[in-house]
Structure formats: C-alpha cells, structure tokens
Structure 1
Amino acid sequence: MATGVRRRMGVEERRRQLIGVALELFSHRSPDEVSIDEIAAAAGISRPLVYHYFPGKLSLYEAALKRAAEDLAERFEEPREGPLGARLLRVMGRFFDFVDEHGPGFSALMRGGPAVGSSATNALIDSVRQAAYVQILAHLGIVSPSPRLELVVRSWISLAESTALIWLDGRRIPRGELELQLVHDFAALAAVSAAYDSEMAALLRHLLSGEPVDGPFAELIGRLSGLVAA
C-alpha cells in the first residue's frame, strides 16, 4: 500500500532532475520564456529549493544547455565503416532527430539571446561545432586537413546548422529531403573546391571510388547529369 511519502533525492540526483525538467521545457519554448517557477513546479519542488541547487537562473540554463550540447555533439559520432555518403546520411538523420525533438531550445542555443548569450554558452556552441568538425575529418581519414578541406568541412557544418534553423520555421520542406540534400551539399562543396585544388581533387576521387551506384553521392551525380542533358 502506497504511503505517499516522497523519496528525498541526493544533491546530484536532484541537479540531474532539474536539468532534465529544464530541457523538457526548452523543447517546447525558448529558454528565455521558461521561468524558474515553471521549472520548480514541473520538478515538484519550491522555487527557493531550485536556487539551493543552482545559484541563479543563468546557471541552470547553462547546465541544461551543456547537456543538450553534449547530446548534439554525440549525434555526429558514427562507426567509420561503409561508404561515406551513407554514413553522412545517418549522421544527418540523428542531427535532425535532435532538432525535431528540441526545436525551440536548439534555435535559442544557436541563435543566442539574453539567457543563452553568455561566454559559457557561446563556448558550448563552439564545442558542438568543433566536435562535428573532428568527427567529419575522422570519417575522411584526415589528420591534418589542408586549408581548403577545413573550409569545406566547416562551411558544411554551418550550412547544416542554418538549414535546420530555417526548417524549424514552418517545416515547409520534408525533413528527409533536407537530410539527403545536406549530404549532397557536402559533395558539392568538395567538388567545387576540387576544381581549384589538386589535393582536394585527389581526395574527392578517392571518396567517390568507394561509393556504390545506389548511394547518395551517385544519386547527386545522376541528378546533375540529368540537368546537363536537359
């Protein structure tokens, strides 16, 4: 028979709970629109008790966004097996899973604002971008990228971020199409760079040599060939 006695949480357990509650609220509204009172009510505790675990509103936001940033960075991890095009497509699927699940919070994190514009949260954004950059280089098998390759990879990461933010504003393009388009965008950026640089050209030839005829990169070539023929 239930006694109705609430179990007392330890400090770290309570902190994890509050961070989880904040993230859930951020999934539906911007962090700037979520109050400490709402977080306290959702956690089933008083407002003063929230401040017992976090010294201020910004510190809770930063802790919640840190967890979200770590989760987002992990979405770029992928076993380095199989064709690159298929790997990137799976990465984009997980990336958009996150964007879809945490729309307002993702938008606030990437666009900044009064609640998330601190140096700490800016560092979190940079850490996500750097984690994605390192992962993509690993998939390419590159340790020391050339300036042109660095430009391609970082430009593509920025493009994925911008595309997701625009998509959140109405979701007017099917998500699956955007995921595939972003994989095609990566190949296109690499191809344009390859037209100017022999090292990039060699890397692109190597990447395409391992792609199957039914893979994302081959599909892009087919679409472009059809445009030229027309």
Structure 2
Amino acid sequence: MTTGVRRRMGVEERRQQLIGVALELFSHRSPDEVSIDEIAAAAGISRPLVYHYFPGKQSLYEAALRRAADELAGRFLEPPQGPLGARLLRVMGRFFDFVDEHGPGFAALMRGGPAVGSSTTNAMIDEVRQAAYEQILAHLEVGKPSARLEMVVRSWVSLAESTALLWLDGRRIPRAELELQLVHDFAALAAVSAAYDDGMADLVVRMLADEPADGPFGDLVGRLLDLAPRVPAQRLR
C-alpha cells in the first residue's frame, strides 16, 4: 500500500530521471515534436523544475543524446572469440535492437535533430562512429590499418548507419535479412579491396581461414556460386 508521499530525489538522480524520460519520449517521436511540458508531465514534475536541472531543451536533448550515444557505441562491443562472421552478425543484431527500440532518437542522433550543426552533437556522432571503427579493427587484430583497410572499415560503418536509417522508413525489408546482408557487405568490401592490394588480400585470406561453411561468410560464397550459372559464360570472360 502506498502512503501518497512522494520521495524527494537528489539533484543527480533527478537529472538522470529526466534524461531517461526524454529518451523514452524521443524513442517514439522526433525530439523536435517533444515539448518540455511533456517531459515534465511524464516525469511528474513542473515545467519550471525541469529548467532548474537543465537550462533549456537543447541541454536536455544533448544530455539524452549523450546517453544514447554511449549505449549505441557499447552495442559494438563483442568478445574476440569465434569466427569473425558470427561476431559481426551478433554486433549487427544488437545494433538493430537499438535502432528498433529507439527509432526517432537514433535518427535524431545520426542526422543532428534539433541540434543540427551543434559541435557537441557532431562530436557525439563522431565518437559513435570511431568506437565502431576501433572495435572492427580490434576484431581484425590490426593495430595500425593501411589506407585501404581504413577505407573499407569506415565505409562499412557508414553503410550500416545509412542502411538502418533507410530501414526505419517503413521497415520494408525483414530486419534479419539486413543484418546478414550487412555482414556480407563487409566481406564484399574487403574482397574487392583485396583485388587491388596484396596486404588486403592477406588480411582477407586470414579473415576467412577459420570461417565455417555454414557461417555468414560461407553463406555469401554459396549465394554467389548459385548466381554463376545464371550469367552467360561469354560475359565472364
């Protein structure tokens, strides 16, 4: 049974509550569409009290994005055990979990939202991309990447981001298919680069050495082989 007495929160606890409330609202609608009055009502406090903890909507928005950015960067953390293809597939699963749960907030983070042009927001976006980039290099066991490898990994991180944003517009392709396709995209980008560079070729050979036939990379090879009979022989010469 409740007593009807509302517990008084400390300053930091209240700030964290407001950030959580804002993130929940941003998960369903664009931050542009969420008012301070709605955030105050959802938190069970008055509008002036929100301004006691945050000087304005912009500062609350940036604090919410900070938490979202940290959580999103954490989705790329994966123990370095097992085949690379399976690891990347698990990463993509967690990445799309976040996108699915925080659609409008994810779009706002990646597109800038009401803070477009803000150096703070831009820095947070760059931190997420850099964290993803560094995690992929760690899985490849590469400390100092070549120019081609850097291009491959950064291109793939950008591709995952843009694919997720497009998927949010109607979710017209099954999510599981996109997750697997993005893992295939990574292998394809690396393979194409390997055709131009011996160092990348060595990396791709090492990357595929421990991949099982029924893993994501093996699946890609099977799909490509299935396509071969459909291409006229003269076009392959």
TM-score range (shorter-chain normalised) is over 0.9
Amino acid at match of 1:65: L
- Displacement of 1:226 in angstroms is 1.2
Distance in 2 between residues matched to 1:142 and 1:204, nearest whole Å: 12
Aligned to 1:192: 192
Write out aligned runs for 1:122-141 (5 A): 122-141=122-141
1:163 counterpart = 2:152: no
Number of paired residues?
A: 230
Aligned to 1:4: 4
1:220 counterpart = 2:220: yes
Normalised by the length of structure 2, the TM-score is 0.95
CA contact (8 A) 2:31 2:114 kept: no
Report runs of 4+ in structure 1 exceeding 4 Å deviation.
none
Distance in 1 between residues matched to 2:151 and 2:91, nearest whole Å: 20
Write out aligned runs for 1:1-230 (5 A): 1-230=1-230
- Displacement of 1:212 in angstroms is 0.6
Aligned to 2:234: none
User: What are the ranges of 5 or more consecutive residues in structure 1 without an aligned counterpart?
Assistant: none
- Displacement of 1:89 in angstroms is 0.1
CA contact (8 A) 1:109 1:116 kept: no
CA contact (8 A) 2:26 2:104 kept: yes
Distance in 1 between residues matched to 2:54 and 2:160, nearest whole Å: 33
Distance in 1 between residues matched to 2:56 and 2:116, nearest whole Å: 13
Q: Calculate percent identity across the aligned residue pairs.
A: 82
Distance in 2 between residues matched to 1:11 and 1:108, nearest whole Å: 27
**What is the root-mean-square deviation in Å for CA atoms of aligned residues?**
0.8
User: How far does the alpha carbon of each residue in 1:141-178 deviate from its partner, in whole angstroms, 9 at most, with x for none?
Assistant: 00000000000000000000000000000000000000
Distance in 1 between residues matched to 2:189 and 2:11, nearest whole Å: 48
Amino acid at match of 2:141: G
Distance in 2 between residues matched to 1:132 and 1:49, nearest whole Å: 37
Distance in 1 between residues matched to 2:2 and 2:80, nearest whole Å: 50
Amino acid at match of 1:158: S
Distance in 2 between residues matched to 1:63 and 1:114, nearest whole Å: 13
DSSP 3-state at the match of 2:115: coil
Distance in 1 between residues matched to 2:157 and 2:110, nearest whole Å: 12
CA contact (8 A) 1:149 1:200 kept: yes
User: How far does the alpha carbon of each residue in 1:184-216 deviate from its partner, in whole angstroms, 9 at most, with x for none?
Assistant: 000000000000000000000001111011100
